[in-house]
Amino acid sequence: MTATLIDGKAFAAGLRARIATEVAALKARGITPGLAVVLVGADPASQVYVRSKGKQTLEVGMNSFEHRLPAETPEAELLALIERLNADPAVNGILVQLPLPGHMNEAAVINAIAPEKDVDGFHILNVGRLATGQKAMVPCTPLGCLMLLRDRLGSLSGKRAVVIGRSNIVGKPMAQLLLRDSATVTIAHSRTADLPALCREADILVAAVGRPLFVGGDWIRPGATVVDVGINRTDDGLVGDVDFEAARKVAGAITPVPGGVGPMTIACLLANTLTATARANG
């Protein structure tokens, strides 16, 4: 069997087109959604992401506000900027690019963002709302994975899902979203005993460990749906957390790297910004 490829690039393009239509309708009412992105320091990967976010924000017709601060900026100065953005009615979404320089308290910075403008879904109130089934801003990468899974599988109810990785950005919110859709969810991580055997139980396998080609083909249940969140730069180019060539011979469907989950993240950021704008305008 050869797995169906889950085309995240095409799905994300469709999502952005739907967002652009809704942005146009809001603009006709005199409302232009605005996304502020804050980058502290000059981390090369972060610079690439921030540039991409700005470009795609403008492409769907939203306003993009970029704030670049030097790495040595005092935390108080960043908090003051966030305060201004919180109070600015032209700004509907605020994203502070992570990681922050070592002298900053990441949690304090994230929790300074107004929860209703927290388009990353990292504020402690949004984390708690998601965990308790209340209306929340949902982190973009797991939201993108969920959309691809629903598109592929329809209902996720009763499916056995294994999420490898327990990060606050992907693993934990991914598990919450799968649970919300009534999947039976296991979160696995570096200390999980007999990880390959656990993964072989999974109808849905989400890999978010950040280790190139970590998941072998023999870890995959025949016919399973595999979502690879990994983006690892190696001498052989960009590879995921899953050994794609081996996995595609066993899985029912699989996301490629690149072109799978990656493009969904920014599309979902724009979707969250649209949601925040709609909520701010009744």
Q: Which residues are catalytic?
A: 53, 97, 120
Take residue 280 and report the two structure tokens written for it. Answer: 């701010």
Residue 121 is assigned to a ligand binding site: no
Nearer to ligand GUN, 33 or 139 (CB): 139
Letter for the amino acid at 117? K
- Per-residue CA distances from 202 to 78, 185, 196, 227 (Å): 43, 9, 10, 12
Nearer to ligand GUN, 116 or 243 (CB): 116
Nearer to ligand GUN, 19 or 96 (CB): 96
Interacting stretch for ligand GUN, rule CB under 6 A, among 56-64, 96-104, 221-229, 239-247?
96-104
267 lines the binding site for ligand GUN (CB under 6 A): no
Beta strands in 87-148 (DSSP E): 93-96
Q: Among residue numbers 111 through 140, which ones bind ligand GUN (CB under 6 A)?
A: 120, 140
Binding mask 201-230 for ligand GUN (x = CB under 6 A): ------------------------------
Q: Which residue has the tokens 């109070």?
A: 87
Nearer to ligand GUN, 3 or 266 (CB): 266
Whether residue 99 has a cis bond before it, omega within 30° of 0:
yes
The DSSP element (H or E) to which 233 belongs, if any, is: strand 232-234
Residue 167 is assigned to a ligand binding site: yes
**Least gap, CB of 96 to ligand GUN (angstroms):** 6
Q: How many CA atoms lie within 13 A of 108 on its CB side?
A: 9
97 lines the binding site for ligand GUN (CB under 6 A): yes
Q: Which residue has the tokens 């599988």?
A: 153
Rounded distance between C-alpha atoms, residue 185 and residue 157, angstroms: 11
- Per-residue CA distances from 125 to 4, 110, 121, 130, 138 (Å): 38, 11, 9, 9, 11
**Least gap, CB of 122 to ligand GUN (angstroms):** 7
Interacting stretch for ligand GUN, rule CB under 6 A, among 90-98, 154-162, 216-224, 239-247?
90-98
* Whether the Cβ atoms of residue 9 and residue 50 lie closer than 8 Å to each other: no
**Least gap, CB of 1 to ligand GUN (angstroms):** 33
Nearer to ligand GUN, 63 or 168 (CB): 168
CA dihedral sign of residues 112, 118, 123, 125: positive
Q: Among residue numbers 154 through 183, which ones bind ligand GUN (CB under 6 A)?
A: 169
Binding site for ligand GUN (CB under 6 A): 95-98, 120, 140-141, 169
Q: Which residue positions form the known binding site?
A: 165-167, 231
Q: Which residue positions form the known binding site for NADP(+)?
A: 165-167, 231
